[in-house]
Structure 1
Amino acid sequence: MDSVSNSVPPLNIEIVAERSSTSAWIQWLCRRLEQRAAGTTVRLQLVQGADQAAQPALESLLQLEKMVLRRHQPCLCDRIEPDALADWRTRSDNAAPDIVIDLTSNRSASPRSTRIYRPLFNGHAGEFGLASALFFEGTPHIEIECTLPSGERWIVADGFASLEAAAGIGGAMEAVWSRTAILLIKALPEEPRAPRIADNTAQPHARAITRKVVTVRSAKMLASAAARAAYRLCCHAPHWRIGWRRVTSDNDVWQRRDLGGTPWEVLADPIDHFYADPFPFRWQGKDYLFFEDLDQKTQKGIISVVEFDEQGRPGPAIPVLEESWHLSYPFLIEADGEIWMVPEASLSGEISIYRATRFPFGWEKHATLVSGIEAADATIIQHAGKFWMFAVTRDGIGGYSDTLCLWSAETLLGPWRPHAANPLVINDRSARPAGNMIWRDGKLLRPVQDCRNGYGAALSLAEVTRLDDERFDQVIVKHLSPGKHWPGRKLHTLNGNGYMEAIDGSIIRPKWSFAAGIVDSFYKPGA
């Protein structure tokens, strides 16, 4: 979305928005729409709209969040003067728009002989509808409703935004709006692939955000901020740990569809490091476990490995790959007689591949597979004579776990071509890869992160039902979360190599050794 595309036709777009809701989001959307294709024009019409969109209580909350949570950092929910939108308001093109985007809360776009697109948030519309949904209902279901000239209404795109990086209601509004823009742009160019009839019953009424509920929420926000500061003073936050065990395909997680069975062993870690994203790899009859090794003092991850001896006992963690940027998720693949690693390096702005020069301890960067992108957790599978690479992407705004993109290549080293339907998924509970994809009983299975309750909160197991150059489909078959077999607060990676499987999760980890030992005993698997 950063550059103008020549692969889609230009459009003449009209946006209808409420005068009382002129925020940075409107300005941002106008610019994003202009970038969708060369020759696209955007004009903006401001209407009076509903008074509730400018409720003083909501404005007070957003101002307080800006001071306390965002420390005056800019956000798409920030108010701007209508004059800042003059570039789009003053356009006097008399040509009928190709499409209209109605951002108001009460269907202010008048019927006409063109399509009208309208974002809905749990069925609510407009800025206040979004804020109310976030305030009272949690992460909203984003739907793009399309009204045809005939009056028929269809839902042509939908998804869920990740709120993992959102600061308060304002940050959540920004995250949802950014993904709403992606869904709008994806829905505009052509007939929807699989529309469904919109619910034409009365629109659900958005609950009022009153001064009383804002006061209560503000008090909780301040108390929560103080509690988080105290927690970080006493504990490492977060602290991820790795669990591993010996299994076969008859009793692993994929077969059982739960975390029970052979008890999990915890990989010992230093008090001031956390271990996450475990990838078991078997080579010449020996097992190795690669993982993210993060130093809590620097908050920068490197890739380390543990070698298992003939008795199946893990050795010490040995660093094997470090860059000037954070590294994690060391995806491994064997191809062309070589062993390769594709670690997450989103801060580098590219997806790079490393070749083992002296396995498992020596690695060198061999090539850049995709450049100019903020991508995480690249995961590769061979299917139908091609290599397919999945990763979540981000364009500088919103969460890191909701936008799934796909590339394909004839060989591992590329060239890699983006999928025509990118982004494939906008969903915080089924987009982000959570480990190796596997073939089992002729089915392609994919572990995914479920981040609806926060980053890395849980896992789901998905079956890929279609994967080709035109389309990707998957079905969630099982949801997994921490419990008695793997106690803790989160669960976000699942990997195996046929002999060993590994997971990870977070626990409370005090900064003092004596306290850490006591607390760790409460998180013993199977206890």
Structure 2
Amino acid sequence: MRVSFLIDSTDFRRWQAKAIADVLTASGASGAIAMVAGPPPAGLLDLCLAFEALAFRRPRSGPLDRLSLSALNLPIGTADADIVIDLAASAETTGDRLLITVGGFGVAAGAANAIMAGEEPFIDLIAVVNGEQRLAGRWHVAVEDRRQLGSGMTIAAGRAIEMLTLAAGRLAAGATLGSLTLPRVEAEPSPHRRGQPALFAAAAFARSLAARLERLVRTPPNWAVAWRTDETGDGALPAIAGRRWRRLSDDGGRFYADPFVVRYGGRTVLFVEEFPFATEKGLISAVELGANGPVGTPRPVIETDCHLSYPFVFEEDGALYMIPESSGRRKVELWRAVNFPDHWERAAVLIDDIDLGDATLFRADGRCYLFGTVRPHWGSSWDGLAIFAAEHLTGQWAPLFSGPAKVDVSSARPAGRMFSLGTSVVRPFQDSVGGYGAGLGFARVDRLDAGGYAETKLMALRPAPPLSGLHTYNRGGGFEVIDVISDGDAAIVTP
């Protein structure tokens, strides 16, 4: 197979070179390039990227560096190409091809426009056949730092590479441009105009400076865990908004987040991520719940050399296990309680060499599934849902299918234990549009098999001011628990 790539030689960047290399590797194809004229890039964009690196004291984003076409060492021409991939988003190009855009522009420029408009980019993969355009895939990607163009543009570039590589693999396996289909969010991106990078960079730097000064005179909002006795019960979606939740108190030197509650051995225990500000490294802590709520304060039960969070706790064959997030170690680890709830031992490594966020176990049809978010090269862990499957808990875990189940910053990342609702299964999800953990929602699982994954959004919540985040829900042992971003130490929070 031979793949030809359409490139604008005046705006060729490192991420495009990696996309070309990864596509050729995934498809086993030979490659060629052809020069076309793409849309003019936003003025001063490269200068503003350099200014950002200086102002925020961070390395300049390598994926956005300009390169010479000589770095590719590929022949020139489109003759006899089996697939043409358009990396330039040229309005003048004709012929059958695979086109990748953000808001109708090339990936880098389109992502910059979206970020300057205060939005998360939508990456569109478009199959052009006989002059007709068909949307083959749409991914809604994260912006982890809304003050920086370079950070968000890099994440978009990383996901674009992943999207193109996945598409190339499927085309090499027999798919056609007319039949190619990748995961697709149904939301429509907002139309936006070309941005002005210089004005955005100046405003972003001013906001960053104001935030630094504010931190000198007041404590910024932080995560807090809140609880209530179970008001939902079986067979209903939880009513969270507008209800009073009791806050788990802290001493101001730490925050608590990611609550999970379990009833085991006649005791009900709340597990949380504890994040001491002094160490800036998460650990897993526990506190017993009595009839009137927490008895005492959370105490550490698992601490390692890497950050731990999301203590997914569950019972299996009479024993109690936990899968805490340990993505900093690039492992998914299984821990077993040897003296509940205070002492745990590492029982197995379920998946090695992976950055998997918020691993969530689910069992169906006699199989085990792990849901989580995977951070690709240059990408984010907020937006790409991956699903792994195994016959047994400690069995051989493998991806359920190639590529992400969905890429959607508004609903991909897990937000708690999955649960039954009548004959349906509901998956809690995080909504990080506008910021990490900004909202919480629930989706019905419609399909889960090797052929694909599908779900329907049932509810989406954003907390009411002064709260500014809500990203976990769990229940068990007669209690319901959430976490919120809270400004202050009020004993009652109302999302």
Q: Output the TM-score relative to the length of structure 1.
A: 0.85
The aligned residue for residue 525 of structure 1 is 493
Please state if 1:36 is matched with 2:23. no
- Cα distance 1:165–1:397, how it changes in 2: closer, same or farther (>3 A)? farther
Whether the 8 Å CA contact 1:157–1:187 is kept in 2: the answer is: no
1:21 Cα deviation from its structure 2 partner: 0.8
Structure 1 residue 294 and structure 2 residue 240: aligned?
no
Cα distance in structure 2, aligned partners of 1:444 and 1:433: 14
Q: Does 1:177 align with 2:157?
A: yes
Q: Tell me whether 266-275 or 225-234 shows the greater mean CA deviation.
A: 225-234
The residue number in structure 2 matching 1:201 is: none
In structure 2, how many angstroms separate the alpha carbons of the residues matched to 1:123 and 1:421?
Answer: 27
Q: Answer yes or no: is 1:58 the counterpart of 2:78.
A: no
Structure 2 partner of 1:230: 213
Residue type of the alignment partner of 1:414: G
Give the Cα separation in 2 of the matches to 1:123 and 1:137.
17
Q: Percent identity?
A: 29
- After superposition, the Cα gap between the structure-2 partners of 1:95 and 1:57, relative to the gap in structure 1 and judged at 3 Å, is closer
Match of 1:515 in 2: none
Residue in 2 aligned with 1:12? Answer: 2
Residue by residue over 1:452-476, the C-alpha shift from the partner in whole angstroms, topping out at 9 and shown as x without a partner, is 1111100111110111222210111
Give the direction of change, closer, same or farther, for the CA distance of 1:235–1:383 in structure 2 (3 Å limit).
farther
Cα deviation for residue 310 of structure 1 reads 4.8
Deviation for aligned residue 1:311: 4.5
Q: Distance in 2 between matches of 1:43 and 1:463?
A: 45
- Do the aligned partners of 1:393 and 1:403 also contact (CA within 8 Å) in 2? yes
The correspondence for 2:289, drawn from 304, 308, 319, is 308
The alignment status of 1:160 with 2:147, answered yes or no, reads no
1:218 maps to amino acid: A
Q: Distance in 2 between matches of 1:99 and 1:457?
A: 40
1:220 to 191, 203, 214: 203
Q: Which residue is equivalent to 1:514?
A: none
The residue number in structure 1 matching 2:228 is: 245
Shift in Å, 1:238: 5.6
Q: Is the 8 A contact 2:159 2:376 kept in 1?
A: no
Q: CA deviation at 1:98?
A: 2.1
| 168 and 464 in structure 1: CA distance in 2 versus 1, 3 angstrom threshold | same
From 432, 444, 450, the equivalent of 1:469 is: 450
Unpaired runs of 5+ in structure 1? 1-10, 198-203, 509-518
2:15 to 25, 49, 54: 25
78 and 69 in structure 1: CA distance in 2 versus 1, 3 angstrom threshold: farther
The residue aligned with 1:358 is 339
- The Cα shift of 1:450 comes to 0.4
CA–CA separation in structure 2 for the residues paired with 1:126 and 1:193: 20
Instruction: Tell me the residue number matched to 2:73.
Output: 87
| Partners of 1:430 and 1:418 in 2: CA distance | 20
**Uncovered stretches (5+) of structure 2, i.e. residues with no partner:** 185-189
In 2, the alpha carbon distance for the partners of 1:238 and 1:23 equals 38
Q: Name 2:463's counterpart in structure 1.
A: 482
CA displacement at 1:526 relative to structure 2:
4.3
Aligned mates of 2:270, 2:45 — CA distance in 1: 49
Name the CA distance, whole Å, in 2 between partners of 1:477 and 1:228. Answer: 36
Counterpart in the other structure of 2:63 = 76
Are the counterparts in 2 of residues 105 and 129 from structure 1 also a CA contact under 8 Å?
no
Q: Distance in 1 between matches of 2:287 and 2:218?
A: 26
Size of the aligned set, in residue pairs, is 483
Distance in 1 of aligned mates of 2:231 and 2:180: 41
Please state how far the C-alpha of 1:427 moved relative to its aligned partner. Answer: 0.8
Distance 1:193 1:474, change over 3 A: farther
The secondary structure found in structure 2 opposite 1:173 is helix
1:207 aligns with 2:190: no
Residues 224-247 of structure 1: CA distance to partner in whole angstroms, max 9, x if unpaired? 121222234345556210001111
In 2, distance between residues paired with 1:206 and 1:96? 38
The one-character-per-residue Cα deviations of 1:13-57 (angstroms, maximum 9, x if unpaired) are 2211111111122222123223325x333333233434x22x443
Distance 1:152 1:298 in 2: 56
Tell me how large the CA RMSD over aligned residues is.
2.6
Task: Kindly indicate whether the alpha-carbon contact (under 8 Å) linking 1:75 and 1:170 is maintained by their aligned counterparts in 2.
Answer: no
Q: Alpha-carbon deviations, 1:251-286, whole Å to 9, x = none?
A: 99x53544344x311001121101000001111332
1:142·1:159 contact (CA, 8 Å) conserved in 2? yes
